[in-house]
Structure 1
């Protein structure tokens, strides 16, 4: 443990969670948590936020996040008290930087006098200097060897389950885990707004509803649209209502799934459901089928059964911990199907090749359909609540 002592800033170990749990800081009333990125990134951070809220019950927790995070949490109960929108900054939030907006952000944050700032945004090359500019009394987070040091930190290793990484960081601030994965509830207000999207063909409330999300930020993480269409058509033939979901940018992809299905029981609602009411829509579904993406992680947090399609490296970082109500289908590919480049180190020690071919094409449609139908049948596993 002597080698780790400098990273801990001299703090003593008081217990063990995912990793060492250190002494709590004194007089913490305001906590800032840095986590940009997408919907999945937010959900990976929530277990750590819950741990921090439990360790410092009198403190308010401010998420430094994105407009999407604010939209979701503004309509969904969570351990986050408020969301501060990050400015565009390299390695923190993509987009053209506005120096004046960035300066105004930090001036406002410094006036709030945060007692504790927590970095849950990767290895720290860009996020640690960003965090330090908040001027918080205490800082914790993960860091690569070339990242700016924080008061307490742990070494960043790329292949680690992201929610567990967050909990290990929270332990640096003296916070024990209260849960290993994100848990959210649907608000009554948002539930009313999705009723028109859930009309069954036979007007029967017993009709099972299957949600399909064919998108993913990285095209290589997407199962082919025609495969989703095959499963959707089979579920519709069984009497299920099938909703293909996605953002406005995913309308074309969702349309390809509907076209491949060729069934009146399969419809696209892509672009029609914002993040504020997406939890209510998913909460009314029997199962979600999707790639490693934000909606799959959100469904899991809501207690909705999922059938997930993963490349094996993504499963290490972002897969569900359980298998009773969250089934996983894996691609074991280690090389690009077009140029044979090693894909296991992309984003960490090697440059990404230029190809976007799906890494999931080898996953069996028959096997996926079998798992989806498990959760639409009348079985004890039909709901994960």
Structure 2
């Protein structure tokens, strides 16, 4: 399946089906929480070509959903709009509640715009609810405007590549924001103990997280060969998680891969609570969150330059206990 400008310069006849454009110009975890909505749209729009407007780096995983035909690069709302050859028959805003994302799609002159209501953008639709799980939110939009949607329909196809280290415990210390990073020395304590029990432990991360992964490995006594940060493609990472014994991380993209492949996982949440971003109820997913139980929807300081208290209050022993439960599940 192509990635990029639909039907442009590839020596093939244009797809005759009407186009439905779905906007989700965010990160990996955001994409994976939208999978149920993408599947609902696919069922409702069986006669359409579904084009996902999202960062092109996510295309390999987006295509594993089986819900989209093509990925058209959009790096965010501040850059160029999706470069379609002609207005789409339908545009679906799975990005936000507007007005910027609404206006981006309205500028494409779609035959119909499906989105949450925004008086500022002049768009009618269902009302946005602040206290709603991310999967449920986008499923509600699709179910109320297009057709049935199941919020727990997360499963991805297995990648057509081999897992770099089948059956490993995957420890992922990084996150896009410092506020989400559980302390590396605690990750190291967990990794060292799991390795002591005979498990193969590997450390993952992006190219920019190699130093963090290397520090974790050094503290835990892991060999350099087990530091995979910066050495795996997104498909390699998906294959690794699909066959992992356990995934230990904060609330970031790799946790949502574990949810999608129903692999045992321990996720330390903060600043966003699991009520907003947590996995479906499953015996092998354990979530740890030390936020205010009286306000399960509260989001802490996302842009803090240090881990939020919800993370700092989680000790390594609690994560190790959770790992034992997840593995037993």
TM-score, with structure 1 as normaliser:
0.74
Specify the alignment match of 1:317 in structure 2: 276
**CA offset at residue 307 of structure 1?**
0.8
Can you list the C-alpha shifts for 1:114-138, whole angstroms capped at 9, x where unaligned?
Answer: 2111001112121000010121111
Specify the alignment match of 1:149 in structure 2: 122
Can you list the C-alpha shifts for 1:248-298, whole angstroms capped at 9, x where unaligned?
Answer: 011111112112212449821000011122111111211101100001101
Residue of 345, 357, 362 corresponding to 2:313? 362
Is residue 25 of structure 2 the alignment partner of residue 52 of structure 1? no
SS in 2 for 1:363: coil
Larger radius of gyration: 1
Specify the alignment match of 2:113 in structure 1: 139
Specify the alignment match of 2:70 in structure 1: 82
Kindly report which structure 2 residues correspond to 1:1-385, keeping only aligned pairs within 5 A, or say none: 29-74=18-63, 76-86=64-74, 89-90=77-78, 97=79, 102=80, 108-109=83-84, 111-146=85-120, 148-150=121-123, 152-187=124-159, 189-191=160-162, 194-195=163-164, 197-198=165-166, 208-264=167-223, 267-311=226-270, 313-332=272-291, 344=299, 355-359=305-309, 360-376=311-327, 379=328, 381=329
8 Å CA contact 1:33–1:119 kept in 2: the answer is yes
SS in 1 for 2:275: helix
SS in 2 for 1:190: coil
Q: Output the CA distance in 2 between the equivalents of 1:211 and 1:301.
A: 15
SS in 2 for 1:68: helix
TM-score, with structure 2 as normaliser:
0.85
**CA offset at residue 77 of structure 1?**
4.9
**CA offset at residue 365 of structure 1?**
1.4
Structure 1 unaligned runs (5+)?
1-27, 91-96, 199-207, 335-342
SS in 2 for 1:289: strand
8 Å CA contact 1:140–1:172 kept in 2: the answer is no
Can you list the C-alpha shifts for 1:305-348, whole angstroms capped at 9, x where unaligned?
Answer: 211110263322211121411101112169xxxxxxxx84757x
Structure 2 unaligned runs (5+)?
1-16
RMSD: 2.4
Instruction: Please identify, of 45-54 and 251-260, the stretch whose mean Cα deviation from structure 2 is larger.
Output: 251-260
Q: In proportion to residue count, which structure has more strand?
A: 1
Q: Output the CA distance in 1 between the equivalents of 2:183 and 2:225.
A: 17
